[in-house]
Amino acid sequence: MMDRRSFLHGLSAAAIAISANAQSLTGSDAEAARQIAPIHDATPLRLGIIGPGSRGKELARSFLRVPGVRITAAADVYAPRFAELNQVCGYDVPSHADYRALLDRKDVDAVIVATPFGLHGEQVLAALHAEKHVYGEKTMAFTVEESAKIVQAATASPRIFQVGHQYRYSPWIRAALARVQQGEIGDVTHIIGYWHRNNSWRRPVPQPSLERLINWRLYNQWSLGLLAELGSHHMDIANWAFGATPTAALASGSICKYHDGRETDDNVQAVLSYPGGKRFIFSSITDNSQLGDQLWLYGTKGSLNLTLEDATFYYEPRQVTRVDPSHDGAAITSASYQASGEMPYRGPGHAVEVTTAEDPTSAATRAFIYCCRTGTHPIADVHVGYGSALCVIQSNQARLDRREVAVPPAL
């Protein structure tokens, strides 16, 4: 079990007692570089895909770019998906209405689980039980208990389990966080994540009976709303940056724009408390996209802005103590209000330069294939998945209970 006290003294890599779980949370750069390197080996690897919907097809496209990969089976309860997947693959993929039939196939080495969130736990556990490698989309599982079972099953399995937290493979985020961990912006005590959009997230449905299947994100049965769908990525990055999982969660949300019968909130705010009094604050709204998707890491010496495309450092302006000559050289106190001292810092940012700005999903899928072929432990492993699942599930509990709830320790 992770020793939380070992994380109390900030981001300095040297200060962190590296347990196996701490290593999962912070990751190793040399290992990441190995896993995301271009692949020339074309040893056959046969993939089955459970839930070839929007994300599943995107993953299929990405996996098919890796030499030697072939999609040999698909499972979905909504038949039109099979023709869509065949289009992506350029050949007819054997299809099943029941995912268990896919797991029985001997020509499937690895399984992608890209179904609605509430189904991940059951399907990932069944796939691990069937001794397949598993690429399980985030959020890893719907309850703490299910998530813990996946940790247990993946740890006991000789196969690979990788969670769909592809930002762990993003070159600019990796490079920026390595610099933060070396102390470049001092002690980071607060991280703020915004994921603001201006759309309802409602998908058109061909017939009303399909509403809950197609718009599953809007209903409680399989969804924990924006906390899971968007927050899970930011919470994972906060865990990574702080090198820890939180101890407590607070959250709130409401439906303020889309009164269309949905059950999940169209805006949400969460505060996660980390060891040492550190905080991650998350906001997601769906009716204004001005802030877009970005994270700010605030340290005593500077700030780091992370987006889907880049990372930029800003350094704290030098504090100038002004002296009032009419008062025997006494320093002017804050009682002498100066707007300029409290204005947002708009100085030039220093962009993190990386040699490749590849889409993180491409890197993550290639890394998965590398791990399956070589038996290497993935960067976005089951502990990473568990950490972010804890944040999502307990934030959601706090939102429902309208009080702060404890977050169980990482496994």
Ligand X SMILES: NC(=O)c1ccc[n+]([C@@H]2O[C@H](COP(=O)([O-])OP(=O)(O)OC[C@H]3O[C@@H](n4cnc5c(N)ncnc54)[C@H](O)[C@@H]3O)[C@@H](O)[C@H]2O)c1
Q: Which parts of this chain interact with ligand X (CB under 6 A)?
A: 50-51, 53-56, 75-78, 81, 99, 114-117, 119, 137-138, 164, 166, 213, 216, 229
Q: In this complex, which beta carbon is closest to ligand X, that of residue 95 or of residue 181?
A: 95
Q: Rounded to the nearest whole angstrom, what is the least distance from the CB of residue 364 to ligand X in the complex? A: 8
Which residues pair with residue 273 across a beta bridge? Answer: 248, 279
Q: Rounded to the nearest whole angstrom, what is the least distance from the CB of residue 200 to ligand X in the complex? A: 15
Q: In this complex, which beta carbon is closest to ligand X, that of residue 77 or of residue 291?
A: 77
Which residue's Cβ has the minimum distance to ligand X? Answer: 53
Query: Which tokens go with 128?
Result: 């691990």
Q: Rounded to the nearest whole angstrom, what is the least distance from the CB of residue 4 to ligand X in the complex? A: 28
Any long-range contacts for 177-183 (C-beta under 8 Å, 24+ apart)?
177/240, 177/241, 178/29, 179/313, 179/352, 180/11, 180/241, 180/297, 180/299, 180/304, 181/11, 181/12, 181/13, 181/26, 181/243, 182/12, 182/13, 183/11, 183/12
Q: In this complex, which beta carbon is closest to ligand X, that of residue 5 or of residue 100?
A: 100
Q: What are phi and psi of 158, to 5 degrees?
A: -75, -5
Q: What are phi and psi of 349, to 5 degrees?
A: -90, 160
DSSP string, 138-200: SS--SSHHHHHHHHHHHHH-SS-EEES-GGGG-HHHHHHHHHHHTTTT--EEEEEEEEE-BS-
Q: Rounded to the nearest whole angstrom, what is the least distance from the CB of residue 185 to ligand X in the complex? A: 27
Q: What are phi and psi of 181, to 5 degrees?
A: -70, -20
Q: Rounded to the nearest whole angstrom, what is the least distance from the CB of residue 224 to ligand X in the complex? A: 10
Sign of the four-CA dihedral 354, 359, 361, 366? negative
Q: Rounded to the nearest whole angstrom, what is the least distance from the CB of residue 162 to ligand X in the complex? A: 11
Q: In this complex, which beta carbon is closest to ligand X, that of residue 123 or of residue 269?
A: 123
Beta strands in 247-363 (DSSP E): 248-254, 267-274, 278-285, 293-299, 302-307, 311-315, 323-324, 330-331, 350-351
Q: What are phi and psi of 331, to 5 degrees?
A: -70, 140
Measured CA to CA, the distance from residue 132 to residue 110 in angstroms comes to: 5
Q: Rounded to the nearest whole angstrom, what is the least distance from the CB of residue 336 to ligand X in the complex? A: 49
Measured CA to CA, the distance from residue 4 to residue 387 in angstroms comes to: 13
Q: Rounded to the nearest whole angstrom, what is the least distance from the CB of residue 236 to ligand X in the complex? A: 10
Q: In this complex, which beta carbon is closest to ligand X, that of residue 117 or of residue 274?
A: 117
Q: In this complex, which beta carbon is closest to ligand X, that of residue 22 or of residue 93?
A: 93
Q: In this complex, which beta carbon is closest to ligand X, that of residue 108 or of residue 185?
A: 108
Q: Rounded to the nearest whole angstrom, what is the least distance from the CB of residue 94 to ligand X in the complex? A: 15
Q: In this complex, which beta carbon is closest to ligand X, that of residue 76 or of residue 184?
A: 76
Measured CA to CA, the distance from residue 254 to residue 7 in angstroms comes to: 34
Q: List the one residue out of 124, 106, 104, 105 whose CA is nearest residue 114.
A: 124
Q: In whole angstroms, how far apart are CA 309 and each of 115, 123, 173, 256, 305? A: 26, 32, 9, 30, 11
Q: In this complex, which beta carbon is closest to ligand X, that of residue 117 or of residue 314?
A: 117
Q: Rounded to the nearest whole angstrom, what is the least distance from the CB of residue 406 to ligand X in the complex? A: 25
Q: In this complex, which beta carbon is closest to ligand X, that of residue 303 or of residue 395?
A: 395
